């Protein structure tokens, strides 16, 4: 019997790569329900699987902010069960906090936090009743330590940590394992889809010069990091596979296999002072700290 996997956010990036990898698995162990908000974007996924996997791949519409669309997708799962739920849909936001509108901040939380939580909610009762299941969530190192100009994104990803850790404690009693796959920078459409304040934007005219010059430094740092240190989605998929194939999956996986030094610093130096200085130095190259 195939393992039924349902993945959110499969029109690009990590979700797309994971769907392709599982649907193409030579063992044919997986039946993949690749879901996406906008079915008009399904060509990329279909091209990537080269049409060979009609029996292992199904594409469904699902907007994680729309409960009815989650329920509709659930009802289209012909096996009437999901063994592995992958909550992956997410969107980034960058810019000085002063310019973020309440609506745009709400949107980030709607997708990243409530989108993830309500997806889990919809599948949870059935998973409990069937007595087994896996919930895998694409986490971010931005959910473990703060990043300047990413306040709302980090808030959404920190919140997911809390929700997932809380659930993990409970769900082990139902033979359901929750795992977070903590990613650093990944080459995906993340930077294209992100809500980002651009330096020339009219909205930035109200922002003070010091913030703007720090934001410029941040943007340079960010593009350097994505150029030099970003992982490919295939690398992330390998970590998902580790978690999926493990009999006793960990709660947290780091995609570089170890906890990045800065994340470690945040954990070991619990008063936070060293982390804040180190991060500031790395991003803004502060000479005086
Ligand atoms: P991506 O933009 O390529 O993929 C995100 C997908 O989520 C897109 O296909 C998008 O259409 C989808 N999505 C957005 N809103 C949605 C909604 N309301 N309903 C359903 N789907 C929706 O970027 P990615 O890097 O593949 O992102 C996947 C996950 O990885 C996200 O949760 C992101 O926060 C996380 N992540 C990414 C990075 C990175 O550097 N790329 C780092 C850490 C964590």
ipTM score of complex:
0.99
Whether 238 maps to a domain, the answer reads yes
Whether 218 maps to a domain, the answer reads no
In a structure prediction context, what are the per-residue pLDDT tens digits for the chain, which is 289 residues long?
999 999 999 999 999 999 999 999 988 999 999 999 999 999 999 999 887 677 999 999 999 999 999 999 999 999 999 999 999 999 999 999 999 999 999 999 999 999 999 999 999 999 999 999 999 999 999 999 999 999 999 999 999 999 999 999 999 999 999 999 999 999 999 999 999 999 999 999 999 999 999 999 999 999 999 999 999 999 999 999 999 999 999 999 999 888 999 999 999 999 999 999 999 999 998 654 4
Catalytic choice (33, 153, 215, 275): 153
Our count of domains for the chain comes to 1
Whether 269 maps to a domain, the answer reads no
Provide the CATH number for the domain around residue 194: 3.40.50.720
Whether 207 maps to a domain, the answer reads no
Concerning whether 218 is annotated as a catalytic residue, the answer is: no
> Range of 38's domain?
3-202+231-258
Q: What are phi and psi of 180, to 5 degrees?
A: -105, 130
Whether 282 maps to a domain, the answer reads no
Whether 223 maps to a domain, the answer reads no
Residue whose Cα lies nearest atom 26 of ligand 1: it is 13
Whether 87 maps to a domain, the answer reads yes
Q: Ligand 1 centre from 91 Cα, in Å?
A: 5
For ligand 1, is residue 96 a contact (CB within 6 Å)?
A: no
Strands (E), the chain: 3-7, 30-36, 57-61, 84-87, 93-94, 133-140, 176-183, 186-187, 195-196, 231-232, 252-254
Whether 77 maps to a domain, the answer reads yes
For ligand 1, is residue 188 a contact (CB within 6 Å)?
A: yes
Q: Ligand 1 centre from 273 Cα, in Å?
A: 31
């Amino acid at each position: 019997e195939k393992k039924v996997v349902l993945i959110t956010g499969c029109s690009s990036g990590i979700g797309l790569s994971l769907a392709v990898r599982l649907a193409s698995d030579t063992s044919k162990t997986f039946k993949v329900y690749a879901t996406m908000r906008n079915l008009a974007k399904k060509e990329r996924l279909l091209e990537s699987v080269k049409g060979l996997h009609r029996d292992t791949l199904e594409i469904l519409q699902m907007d994680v902010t729309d409960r009815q669309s989650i329920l509709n997708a659930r009802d289209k799962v012909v096996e009437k069960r999901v063994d592995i739920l992958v909550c992956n849909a997410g969107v980034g936001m960058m810019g000085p906090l002063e310019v973020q509108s309440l609506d745009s901040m709400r949107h980030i939380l709607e997708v990243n936090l409530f989108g993830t939580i309500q997806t889990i909610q919809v599948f949870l009762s059935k998973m409990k009743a069937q007595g087994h299941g896996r919930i895998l969530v694409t986490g971010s190192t931005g959910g473990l330590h703060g990043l300047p100009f990413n306040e709302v994104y980090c808030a959404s990803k920190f919140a997911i940590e809390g929700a997932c850790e809380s659930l993990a404690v409970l769900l082990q009693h139902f033979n359901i394992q929750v795992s977070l796959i903590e990613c650093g920078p990944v080459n995906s459409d993340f930077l294209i889809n992100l809500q980002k304040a651009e330096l020339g934007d009219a909205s930035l005219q109200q922002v003070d010069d010091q913030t703007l010059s720090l934001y410029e430094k941040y943007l340079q740092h960010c593009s350097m990091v994505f150029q030099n240190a970003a992982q490919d989605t295939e690398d992330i998929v390998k970590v998902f596979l580790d978690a999926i194939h493990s009999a006793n999956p960990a709660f947290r996986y780091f995609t570089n296999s170890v906890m990045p030094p800065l994340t470690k610093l945040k954990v070991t130096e619990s008063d936070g002072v060293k982390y804040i200085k180190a991060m500031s130095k790395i991003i803004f190259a502060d000479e005086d700290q």
